[in-house]
């Protein structure tokens, strides 16, 4: 998030980046499952969790049971710190609070909107829609999570959800840091196409480009809860079209980093907002879109009492942050699963970008579009849809069209991406171009990448030079093939040129400001 996120000289960590071999942590025994805060009797075993999931194959069963076992062992209330006990109480209070009698007040008045034409329903597997959509994004979450082969059990609840989901092994964020990647999820467009300022903490200025404005015009409410002051109303513009938009209490804007721990505040806020949006006063049914962005894996990396200990290096502490975030997301998932509307709710999990720990000489994020920065988790849980993994690359440009179709919206303007519903329902996932877009601002040079299959072309500056990588043979992007394989390079450049023609670059409003010397300190 911070402007210095990936600085390759000023902000290097003092510790060596190479990771220790992963080891099994000593797991302290706790006495109750995460569900205990909802009033359930404490349990020491995970069998009841596994049985309830109803997974469809042995691999999924093992993943769910392992995740459940780790969760049960680690996440009880006994022995928690005072801070944890207070946070647990906030969740309990939010979950037990009565639903409101009145609907949330809409920010945007109903209007006809632009005709975009709704796509046809994907197939019988998704015929139960329209669905509510719950989008959970996790700041700085790398692709190398436990479901992708990472040895440390740092995300048991998300691993269990992943085992029940359709997952894209090669998912890509729109860009490599928050202010350029999040708009891709909310607008379905690349940041270079959007009306915006030229600063690192970009502000987006055209309400018509945000999907939630058009959803509101159809009577489909959007709500969002967040944990960084860049998301505060009037700062980024991300709140455009949302009926309710809240920031966790007790934080201020820090341009350098994220010094706060907020997952324990965001989950109770999310529960409160979900109770509001799911209870229309007229007693009728209409879908809703809810988005919650968890910040804790973003630096500063902090240790947590609730987490296993992995070491003192940056990646070790980052893993503790992921574990802690996963714990609180698990509490939110428990709340959702207990609601009568759960069977009509799709859950999407992804990240705004990844995080670097020394790869390519980079730490944190922004500035470049290497795999560690833009390859992210990307999976969809839809009730009744068979879990599977898809190898074809897909990007966040496809997220907004997918959300629109899941919600059953009719009048959202046509978007450049493509809905993934047919693939979620079992349809063939053909290879197609994925674009990563990093427009220039006061702290970033322009970068753009095209991924097709497992080949990746990176354009530097205003296409002044290119690099080419085979991600299958060279996932760390160490061997540049731009001169070694001229035929492949020519084909990828052709694809890049054709794809870039479809992106209408918009100059930042007011130009690109000079760097703020105060923010560089």
Give the whole-angstrom CA distance, residue 495 versus residue 372: 23
The backbone torsions φ and ψ at residue 383, rounded to the nearest 5 degrees and listed phi first, read -50, 130
Q: What stretch of H or E contains 176?
A: none
**Residue 250 Rama label (left phi>0; alpha psi -120 to 50; beta):** left
**DSSP per-residue letters across 452-467:** ETTEEEEEETTTTEEE
Q: Check residue 88 and give its pLDDT.
A: 59
Q: What stretch of H or E contains 186?
A: helix 178-187
The answer to whether the CB of 326 falls within 8 A of the CB of 162 is no
Q: Check residue 138 and give its pLDDT.
A: 97
Q: How far is CA 323 from CA 97, 158, 308, in A?
A: 27, 10, 8
**Residue 179: inside a domain, yes or no?**
yes
Give the whole-angstrom CA distance, residue 341 versus residue 337: 8
The reply to whether omega before 67 is within 30° of 0 (cis) is: no
Task: Determine the 3-state secondary structure of 356 from DSSP.
Answer: strand
Q: Check residue 366 and give its pLDDT.
A: 83
Domain shared by 394 and 447, yes or no: no
| The model's pTM | 0.79
Alpha helix stretches (DSSP H) within 54-176: 58-74, 82-96, 156-163
Q: Check residue 59 and give its pLDDT.
A: 41
Strands (E) across 391-506 are located at 394-395, 434-438, 447-452, 455-460, 465-470
The answer to whether the CB of 167 falls within 8 A of the CB of 389 is yes
Domain shared by 44 and 160, yes or no: yes
Domain shared by 175 and 80, yes or no: yes
- CATH code of the domain in which 98 resides: 3.40.720.10
Domain shared by 498 and 411, yes or no: no
**Residue 85: inside a domain, yes or no?**
yes
Which domain-ending residue is among 395, 425, 455? 425
Strands (E) across 231-364 are located at 244-247, 289-294, 345-350, 356-357, 363-364
Domain shared by 376 and 440, yes or no: no
How many distinct structural domains can be found in the chain?
2
Q: How far is CA 515 from CA 2, 4, 7, 52, 255, in A?
A: 14, 12, 14, 54, 13
Alpha helix stretches (DSSP H) within 338-398: 371-374
| DSSP letter, residue 509 | B
Q: Check residue 284 and give its pLDDT.
A: 62
Domain shared by 133 and 73, yes or no: yes
The reply to whether omega before 204 is within 30° of 0 (cis) is: no
Give the whole-angstrom CA distance, residue 255 versus residue 180: 16
Give the whole-angstrom CA distance, residue 503 versus residue 477: 26
The answer to whether the CB of 145 falls within 8 A of the CB of 155 is yes
Structural domain that includes position 210: 34-425
Which domain-ending residue is among 404, 425, 446? 425
Alpha helix stretches (DSSP H) within 192-310: 211-217, 263-277
Calculated CA dihedral for residues 259, 261, 263, 265, nearest 10 degrees = -110
Which domain-ending residue is among 425, 455, 478? 425
Domain shared by 304 and 247, yes or no: yes
Give the whole-angstrom CA distance, residue 501 versus residue 187: 19
Strand order in the sheet with 375-376: 375-376, 171-172, 394-395
Cα Rg of the chain (Å, integer): 22
- Residue 84 exposed, middle or buried by CB count within 10 Å (0-12, 13-18, 19+): middle
Calculated CA dihedral for residues 75, 77, 79, 85, nearest 10 degrees = 120
Residue-level pLDDT, tens digit, the chain, 521 residues: 544 443 333 333 333 333 333 333 323 333 333 333 333 333 333 333 333 333 334 344 444 444 444 444 444 444 445 555 665 566 666 666 655 543 333 333 222 233 333 334 445 566 667 999 999 999 999 999 999 999 999 999 999 999 999 999 999 999 999 999 999 999 999 999 989 998 888 888 998 999 999 999 999 999 999 999 998 999 999 999 999 999 999 998 887 788 899 999 999 999 999 999 998 765 567 999 999 999 999 988 999 999 999 999 999 999 999 999 999 999 999 999 999 999 999 999 999 999 999 999 899 898 899 999 999 999 999 999 999 999 999 999 999 999 999 999 998 998 999 999 999 999 999 999 999 999 988 888 999 999 999 999 999 999 999 999 999 999 999 999 999 999 999 999 999 999 999 999 999 998 988 766 444 33
- CATH code of the domain in which 443 resides: 3.30.1120.10
**Residue 89: inside a domain, yes or no?**
yes
Domain shared by 344 and 294, yes or no: yes
**Residue 24: inside a domain, yes or no?**
no
**Residue 191: inside a domain, yes or no?**
yes
Q: Check residue 257 and give its pLDDT.
A: 81
Domain shared by 289 and 245, yes or no: yes
Q: Check residue 513 and give its pLDDT.
A: 85
Q: Which residues of 362-396 are buried (b: 16+ CB within 10 A; e: fewer)?
A: bbbbbbbbbbbbbbbbbbbbbeebebeebeebbbb
**Residue 9: inside a domain, yes or no?**
no
Strands 455-460, 447-452: pairing kind: antiparallel
**Tokens, residue 448:** 């753009």
Domain shared by 412 and 498, yes or no: no
Q: Check residue 123 and give its pLDDT.
A: 54
Strand order in the sheet with 289-294: 244-247, 222-226, 289-294, 132-138, 345-350, 378-381, 166-168, 388-390
**Tokens, residue 410:** 């009719």
The backbone torsions φ and ψ at residue 176, rounded to the nearest 5 degrees and listed phi first, read -110, 10
With vertex at residue 92, the alpha carbon angle to CA 294 and CA 74, rounded to the nearest 5 degrees, is: 65
Give the whole-angstrom CA distance, residue 122 versus residue 501: 29
Other CB atoms within a 10 A radius of the CB of residue 486 amount to 11
Domain shared by 257 and 332, yes or no: yes
Q: Which residues of 248-274 are buried (b: 16+ CB within 10 A; e: fewer)?
A: beebeeebbbbebbbbbbbbbbbbbbb
Domain shared by 465 and 367, yes or no: no
**Residue 313: inside a domain, yes or no?**
yes
**DSSP per-residue letters across 98-123:** PPPSSPPPPSS---------PPPP--
**Residue 483: inside a domain, yes or no?**
yes
């Amino acid at each position: 998030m911070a402007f210095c996120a990936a600085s390759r000289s000023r902000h290097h960590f003092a510790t060596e980046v190479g990771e220790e071999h992963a080891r099994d942590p000593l797991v302290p025994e706790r006495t109750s499952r995460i569900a205990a805060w909802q009033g359930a009797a404490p349990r020491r075993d995970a069998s009841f969790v596994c049985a309830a999931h109803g997974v469809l194959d042995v691999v999924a069963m093992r993943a769910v049971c392992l995740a459940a076992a780790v969760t049960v062992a680690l996440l009880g209330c006994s022995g928690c710190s005072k801070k944890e006990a207070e946070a647990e109480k906030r969740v309990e209070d939010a979950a037990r609070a009565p639903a409101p009698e009145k609907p949330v007040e809409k920010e945007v008045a109903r209007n006809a909107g632009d005709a975009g034409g709704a796509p046809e329903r994907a197939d019988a597997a998704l015929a139960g829609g329209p669905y509510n959509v719950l989008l959970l994004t996790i700041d700085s979450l790398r692709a190398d999570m436990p479901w992708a082969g990472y040895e440390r059990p740092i995300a048991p609840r998300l691993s269990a959800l992943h085992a029940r989901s359709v997952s894209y092994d090669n998912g890509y964020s729109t860009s490599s840091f928050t202010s350029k990647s999040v708009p891709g999820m909310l607008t379905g467009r690349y940041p270079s196409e959007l009306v915006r300022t030229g600063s690192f903490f970009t502000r987006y200025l055209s309400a018509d480009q945000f999907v939630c404005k058009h959803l509101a015009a159809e009577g489909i409410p959007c709500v969002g809860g967040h944990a960084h002051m860049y998301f505060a109303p009037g700062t980024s513009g991300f709140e455009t079209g949302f009926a309710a938009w809240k920031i966790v209490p007790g934080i201020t804007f820090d341009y350098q980093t994220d010094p706060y721990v907020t997952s324990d505040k965001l989950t109770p806020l999310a529960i409160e907002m979900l109770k509001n949006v799911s209870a229309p006063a007229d007693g009728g049914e209409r879908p809703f879109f809810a988005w919650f962005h968890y910040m804790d894996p973003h630096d500063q990396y902090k240790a947590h009492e609730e987490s296993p200990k992995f070491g003192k290096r940056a990646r070790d502490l980052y893993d503790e942050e992921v574990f802690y975030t996963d714990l609180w997301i698990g509490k939110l998932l428990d709340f959702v699963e207990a609601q009568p509307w759960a069977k009509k709710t799709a859950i999407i999990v992804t990240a705004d970008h990844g995080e670097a720990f020394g790869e390519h000489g980079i730490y944190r994020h922004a500035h470049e579009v290497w795999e560690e920065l833009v390859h992210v988790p990307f999976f969809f849980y839809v009730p009744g849809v068979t879990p599977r993994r898809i190898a074809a690359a897909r990007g966040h440009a496809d997220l907004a069209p997918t959300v629109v179709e899941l919600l059953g919206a009719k009048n959202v303007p046509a978007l450049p991406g493509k809905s993934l519903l047919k693939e979620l329902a079992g349809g063939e996932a053909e290879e197609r171009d994925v674009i990563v877009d990093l427009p220039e601002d006061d702290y970033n040079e322009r970068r753009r990448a095209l991924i097709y299959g497992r080949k990746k072309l990176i354009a530097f500056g205003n296409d002044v030079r290119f690099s080419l990588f085979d991600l299958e043979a060279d996932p760390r992007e160490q061997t540049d093939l731009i001169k070694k394989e001229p035929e492949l390079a020519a084909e990828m450049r052709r694809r890049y040129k054709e794809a870039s023609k479809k992106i209408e670059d918009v100059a930042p409003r007011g130009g690109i400001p000079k760097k703020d010397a105060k923010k560089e300190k």
